Homo-oligomer: A and B are copies of this chain.
Amino acid sequence: MSVTRIPEAQEYILHWGEMGSHWGVNRSVSQIHALLYLSDRPLHAEEICESLSLARSNVSTALKELQGYNIVRRTHVVGDRRDHFVAELDLWDMFMAIVAERKRREIDPIIARLGELSERMAGREEIPGHVRQRIGRMHEFISTLTGWYLQVRGLKKSTLIALMKLGSKVARFVPGSSTPNN
Binding site for B on A (CB under 8 A): 3, 6, 8-9, 11-12, 15, 19, 21-24, 37-38, 40, 89, 91-92, 95, 106, 110, 113-114, 117, 120-121, 127-128, 130-131, 134-135, 137-138, 141, 144-145, 147-148, 151-152, 154-159, 162-164, 166-168, 170-175, 177, 179-182
Contacts and interface: CB of A to CB of B under 8 A. Distances in A.
A174 B151 contact: no
Do most interface residues of chain A lie in helix, strand or loop, or is the interface mixed?
helix
Given A19-B110, A37-B134, A167 B151 contact: yes
A71 B144 CA distance: 20
Contact of A155 (B3, B12, B168): B168
B173 A134 contact: no
Given A117-B11, A127-B8, A159-B177, A134 B89 contact: yes
B182 A156 contact: yes
Nearest to A107: B19
A147 B127 CA distance: 44
A137 B91 contact: yes
